[in-house]
């Protein structure tokens, strides 16, 4: 059972699947680059109420599964 989040007036479970693609699908993402991007994500995310659930990468893109709150402004993140 997944943990359902709540605030004072609602109960929610909001997951997002984000795919970040390198321009022209160039083959540039390796393990050190992916790990550094993940560190940056984990450093910034708590300020916006975002919790990283899963991080996977291939040579030209990164898959990110994360959980957010309804009040989170994803465009500012």
pLDDT at 15 (0 to 100): 94
pLDDT digits (tens, 9 = 90+) for 33-57: 999 999 999 999 999 999 999 999 9
pLDDT band at 70 (very low <50, low <70, confident <90, very high): confident
- Residue 61's nearest CA partner among 21, 25, 17, 16 is 21
Give the CATH H-level superfamily of domain 14-68: Transposase IS200-like (3.30.70.1290)
Contact indicator for 60, 28 with CB cutoff of 8 Å: yes
Q: According to the 3-state scheme, what is the secondary structure of 49-77?
A: CCEEEEEEECCCEEEEEEEECCCCCCCCC
Q: Does residue 10 register a pLDDT over 70?
A: yes
3-state class (DSSP) for residue 50? coil
Q: Rounded distance, CA 47 to CA 62, Å?
A: 22
The whole-number pLDDT of residue 6 equals 83
Q: Check residue 22 and give its pLDDT.
A: 94
């Amino acid at each position: 059972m997944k943990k359902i989040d709540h605030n004072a007036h609602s109960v929610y479970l909001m997951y997002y699947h984000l795919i970040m693609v390198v321009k022209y699908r160039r083959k540039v993402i390796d393990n050190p680059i992916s790990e550094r991007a993940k560190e940056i994500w984990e450093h910034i995310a708590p300020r916006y109420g975002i919790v990283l659930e899963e991080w996977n990468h291939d040579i030209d893109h990164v898959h990110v599964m994360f959980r957010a709150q309804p009040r989170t402004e994803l465009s500012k993140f």
